Structure 1
């Protein structure tokens, strides 16, 4: 059974919506998954936002979801860590560099354009080596910095919009954005894609 961890900021909007929706959609398709979520700045035990709860309830999802901070135990538990933005992914890689190979944004993980995927792989490898060099007190070459900037400019945005503090309609739009990516994720997992 694959274990998937969604990560956003406070674990009260995007990642719990992704968690609840994926759990339900996977069950409907008969795909065995364990799903959890966490936040890079989450406070343990906070309820999901009112609008996130309402959007989930409208989809007949009544999971008891409370916030959890991103921890090494959760990263170790997961086969796949799917962040909702590139900055969440970069934070997670900085904190848990040994697990960088299983960290992706949700949208990039379901991307199927081979050129974009090659750029993403190069970007992640370069980013991890730059962070390692910095951690070891080594200088980062101008060439590596320039290449990272070039890749960032070329790669499309894989961020899921943040509805925090917005209207229910904004939460519904974010949920629709997540749902589209989750359908593609389930197709990939059902086809035996990597986890």
Structure 2
């Protein structure tokens, strides 16, 4: 069964007075998620959409500046809304604030759901969420369900069956990569590539918000 989209009620939002709150989550909240936050604010403003955006990290310290290369790639695109940015740790207040939580990798998504299981219906990996393929989303949900079942079995001291392991391998083979590459510690060119990857996903996100 396909999960109800948490932003269905915001379709047709332009000029309708509706507002949506989106939270991006990565690891340290100094590279990928702040790039996504700054870009989405800029792109939404260009389209006239009322979207409030924050970001946080699953292993972040509060108050750290954005990485220099992340800042540079935003400046190269004439995005200046990040200049006072400071990192924030993911917490219950931010999770509660968000209508939609978009993580930069599937492992970040798992972390959010382990810490805040009540956010299950509104938490997705960014690239998973903007996928145009219903079959991809269905396969991803099957994979997540199977992984959860296997983790429960292991916790109860039960070994997975050969059939379950074969099914897991097949689903993993079929699934496209849902992670945005981590440029941390890399060159400026790596940051540019990550920014382009994020921007492409955000374009699809805005198309989804404004069909």
The alignment's TM-score, normalised by the length of structure 2, stands at 0.82
The C-alpha deviation readout for 1:34-65, integer Å capped at 9, x for no partner, is 10001111011100001111111222222221
Structure of larger gyration radius: 2
Q: Is 1:114–2:134 an aligned residue pair? A: yes
Unaligned residue ranges in structure 2 (runs of 5+): 1-18
Q: How does 1:41-52 map to 2 (within 5 A)?
A: 41-52=59-70
Q: In structure 1, the residue corresponding to 2:54 is in which secondary structure?
A: strand
Is residue 73 of structure 1 aligned with residue 93 of structure 2? Answer: yes
Q: 1:125 aligns with which of 123, 141, 145?
A: 145
d(CA) in 2 for partners of 1:149, 1:40: 28
Which residue number in structure 2 is paired with residue 87 of structure 1? 107
Query: Equivalent residues in 2 for 1:1-195 (5 A)?
Result: 1-62=19-80, 63=82, 64-128=84-148, 133=152, 138-139=156-157, 142-143=160-161, 146=165, 147-191=167-211
- Once residues 108 and 85 of structure 2 are traced to their aligned partners in structure 1, the CA distance between those partners, rounded to angstroms, is 20
**Secondary structure at 2:30 match in 1:** coil
Maintained 8 Å contact 2:21/2:52: yes
User: In the aligned structure 2, how far is the partner of 1:145 from the partner of 1:162?
Assistant: 31
Unaligned runs of at least 5 residues, structure 1: none
TM-score (norm 1): 0.88
Matched residue pairs, number? 189
Q: Does the 8 Å CA contact 1:93/1:128 hold for their aligned counterparts?
A: no
- Per-residue CA deviations over 1:88-144 (Å, capped at 9, x if unaligned) read 11111111122122111111111011211111122233444555x479x64566259
Alpha-carbon distance in 2 for matches of 1:140, 1:108: 30
